[in-house]
Amino acid sequence: MPRSRLIARVAAGAALATALAGCHANHVVESGYPVTVADRHPIRIVEGRATHEVLIGTGRGSLTAVQRAELTAFAGGWRRRGTGPVFIEVPAGTDNEQAARAASREVRSLLVATGIPSHGISVLPYQPFPEDTLAPVRVVYPVVKAEAGPCGVWPDDLGVQDMFHQAENRQYWNFGCANQRALAAMVDNPADLVQPRREQAPSAARRQTVVEKYIKGEDPATKTKELESKLSDEVKQ
């Protein structure tokens, strides 16, 4: 074999081996820019305030039936997600100050009636601004909540001058922030973002029914199949 042809074959084999080695290489490009939405806009678990406002007019120092129902529902949330004492904030120096003080006593009695201990309720004055507004009686307690953001942050230029995002084809910084913020606001129990809930006990009555049907040799399935067949027949008609 001529020497030139042998050198060409050896060079081709080396090039092929190099190409195959490149296919199996695990090359990771490190960068300080967060790639995923969860990394750029993480959902944080923080302690916030749950607030309910009760509007009291100057000529009425008691609650209406609607206000009592709304306040009762709000107080029920304290037993489920409250993390501290309840504060009744009464406006001071306003036209409805006297009526608000009288209404605060009814608010306190209603909170105690819903199961909140009396020693965990405090009445505090506050100065609204401006003073001539109809300041409400505010019922406040701390809660654990989830939040994300802030949104609307644009640290980089999205125009033609920003060659980094154009070359890498990466998401801009604010992308996905609104979705993360909305998801955090919709979460009923922020603890679900940290750990799963405990598995509930199975239905003993349903389990007994299935076992009895199995022993008798009957079909342990529920009646949903018959309902589905009826629905399918109606759809066909």
Q: Strand ranges (DSSP E) for 13-164?
A: 44-54, 86-91, 121-126, 137-147
Under 8 Å between Cβ of 142 and 46:
no
Please give the structure tokens belonging to residue 164.
């980094």
Is-contact 190 147, C-beta < 8 A? no
Q: What is the pLDDT of residue 220?
A: 81
What is the pLDDT, as a whole number, of residue 16?
56
Amino acid identity for residue 74 in this structure: F
- In this structure, of 145-149, 213-217, 229-233, the range with the lowest mean pLDDT score is 229-233
Q: State the chain's mean pLDDT as an integer.
A: 82
* Average pLDDT estimate for 31-59: 89
pLDDT of residue 25: 41
pLDDT confidence of residue 32: 67
Q: Is residue 28's pLDDT more than 50? A: no
pTM: 0.62
User: 129: left (phi > 0), else alpha (psi -120 to 50), else beta?
Assistant: beta
Angstrom distances, CA of residue 192 to CA of 63, 109, 146, 196, 197: 36, 33, 10, 6, 7
Give the domain ranges of the chain.
Answer: 47-142
What the block records as the tokens of 54 is 């009760």
Q: What is residue 142's predicted lDDT score, i.e. its pLDDT?
A: 95
Contact predicate 12/106, CB 8 Å: no
Please list, in sequence order, all residues whose beta carbon lies within 8 angstroms of the beta carbon of residue 149, skipping any fewer than 6 positions away: 41, 177, 180, 181
pLDDT > 70? residue 136: yes
Q: Which architecture does CATH list for 47-142?
A: 2-Layer Sandwich (3.30)
pLDDT band per the 50, 70, 90 thresholds, residue 8: low
CA atoms of 140 and 107, how far apart (whole Å): 12
pLDDT digits (tens, 9 = 90+) for 54-87: 999 988 889 999 999 999 999 999 988 899 999 9
Distance in angstroms (rounded) separating the CA atoms of residues 202 and 190? 25
